[in-house]
Amino acid sequence: MIGTIALVQYATERRRNYLEIPYNQFVQELEQRNIATIQVTNRRVRGDLKRPMRLGERSSSQFVTTLPFESSVTWVTALVEKGVEVRGDEPTRRRPWPVVALTFLPYLVMLFFVIVVLRHLQARRREGGS
């Protein structure tokens, strides 16, 4: 149970490290040869920078952006020519409902035990008060 909670926290924390940048910023970083690797899924690009980027108060060496077009061989070739390691990924499918249900099962079990314990304590208090 604790492992599931820790895993959710870890996954959430990792997601926060990615700066959401506009495509224009992606192009600027590309021109400055600051992009090390990217992973393209549909039109979503996630990548690593050679030097950390600052956006507002946040700084990170990881970014995510959305392409305003479908990626093409020409676009990928231009990236490779600039020294970017390009990886593709298959689109993620929606999780089936049993997986979602099992994800929340530990939380439901904990809630059940809390309710049982509180009812038990309430019943004891009534018996002691009579």
What is the identity of the amino acid at 87? R
pLDDT number for residue 55? 83
Contacts 24+ apart (CB under 8 A), 101-108: 103/4, 103/8, 106/1, 106/4, 106/5
Contact 16, 55 (CB under 8 A): no
The β-bridge partners of 84 are none
The β-bridge partners of 60 are 53
46-76: per-residue pLDDT in tens? 999 999 998 888 889 999 999 999 888 999 9
What is the identity of the amino acid at 7? L
68-120: per-residue pLDDT in tens? 998 889 999 999 999 999 998 776 666 677 777 778 888 989 999 999 999 99
Q: Quote the CA–CA distance of 18 and 47 in Å, as a whole number.
A: 9
Q: Name the pLDDT band for 121 (thresholds 50, 70, 90).
A: very high
Beta sheet of 44-55, edge-to-edge order: 18-20, 58-66, 44-55, 35-41, 85-88
The DSSP-derived string for 48-96 is: EEEEEEEETTEEEEEEEEE-SS---HHHHHHHHHTT-EEEE-PPPPPPP
